[in-house]
Chain A
């Protein structure tokens, strides 16, 4: 009996697109939230972090409501773009992006906040625009947090189960991602498939954590003030 690789491919597809969304939204928002004050900031901050603490079923429920046939976003997408995300891979992407967003956002925000603001001020007096300052000073100096946020959100996207199952369903070959395939293999007693997928997920997750730890240690060493003095 051949082994079905499609859940792995689908999971990778979902994770790549979800992380792209999360990077493009999470980093600019983190930059804004780290440097600006405005009324209602605390509320927004809590909303951004909410998916991290909510049970996946709650996230799934909310997304189903938002993107369902009668939901506000669902109607909007159906009317203007003639697409429906529920029970499609796009639904899995949205679910993955929502649950992994806080990891990117939090990590990026913490490291942007740790960048010395005097450096940004120095760039200002040297004639740099705010956009140039962000890309040439703030981002490079908060790189470590952004990379770890990137990796964590990728891993989280790859492993997303609960909300994905509710929004995208379990359609083999179309929306059945790795975690869902594992669940189904277990339910149906297909130990071999389950075992192989579990092995792949475990090894991958281990490598992510292992590499992240080593990398952050190396970063810390790199920041020691006496490094490289001759």
Chain B
């Protein structure tokens, strides 16, 4: 469960977010520059709102009033960045392993292999990000985020860099993954069509203002 209600000023307008996501997909849809990514950055702890609260399950990760602002590394948030942000100097396997603690690596030595298998990218494990396709990068980014067992997933235009064909395939896959993991997904896109396919809940954002288009 993710519950967030906060305000963050941008240069030309304020972003006022008020969202509640249970184990479903919330799609934030809006044009570029409308404040979508800002919302994700605040949820992840990469940007600090000026006031409000953010609650992940029963944890308050941000509260302007109580001066709580948990750093990203303690929020248990999975983030798939727009251009995937894979570490270019690490192999696919090393990328996926990055978020695992030393203890987890020791106690579950096959965890990464299983994840690579599950995402259908096991054959790529020793490749570098520059040697794989966009769709493959996307799977690696998803695997890298999910392997840390996050409590919510944030996805910034995860499909917009891909061809139409692979796009619809990955849309179905994303939906499947969310149903398996049963955690809140917040996905950002500028594509209304994509929002309708993926969203259990759809919120339109324009100049920082949110309008609910579809209720779960």
Contact call B46/A124, Cβ cutoff below 8 A:
yes
Interface membership of B73, Cβ < 8 A: yes
Interface membership of A70, Cβ < 8 A: no
Contact call A128/B131, Cβ cutoff below 8 A:
no
B137: A residues at CB distance < 8 A? none
**Which of B25-33, B55-63, B76-84, B106-114 lies at the interface?**
B76-84
Contact call B131/A230, Cβ cutoff below 8 A:
yes
Number of A interface residues in the complex (CB < 8 A): 22
A123: B residues at CB distance < 8 A? 87, 98
Interface membership of A58, Cβ < 8 A: no
Interface membership of B144, Cβ < 8 A: yes
**Residue in B78, B83, B130 whose CB lies within 8 Å of A125:** B78
Interface membership of A52, Cβ < 8 A: no
Contact call A127/B73, Cβ cutoff below 8 A:
yes
Contact call B131/A229, Cβ cutoff below 8 A:
yes
Interface membership of A122, Cβ < 8 A: yes
B131: A residues at CB distance < 8 A? 228-230
Contact call A128/B98, Cβ cutoff below 8 A:
yes
Contact call B128/A118, Cβ cutoff below 8 A:
no
**Residue in B45, B99, B128 whose CB lies within 8 Å of A126:** B99
Cα-based distance from A119 to B84 in the complex (angstroms)? 9
Contact call B81/A122, Cβ cutoff below 8 A:
yes
Which B residues are within 8 Å of any A CB, using their own CB? 44-46, 71-75, 77-79, 81, 83, 85-89, 98-99, 101, 128, 130-131, 144-145, 148
Contacts A121-B44, A121-B79, A228-B130 aside, 5 further interface pairs with beta carbons under 8 A come to: A121-B72, A125-B45, A126-B98, A137-B87, A228-B131
The list of the 9 closest CB pairs from A to B, nearest first, reads A126-B99, A124-B72, A122-B85, A125-B79, A118-B85, A127-B73, A228-B131, A140-B89, A125-B72
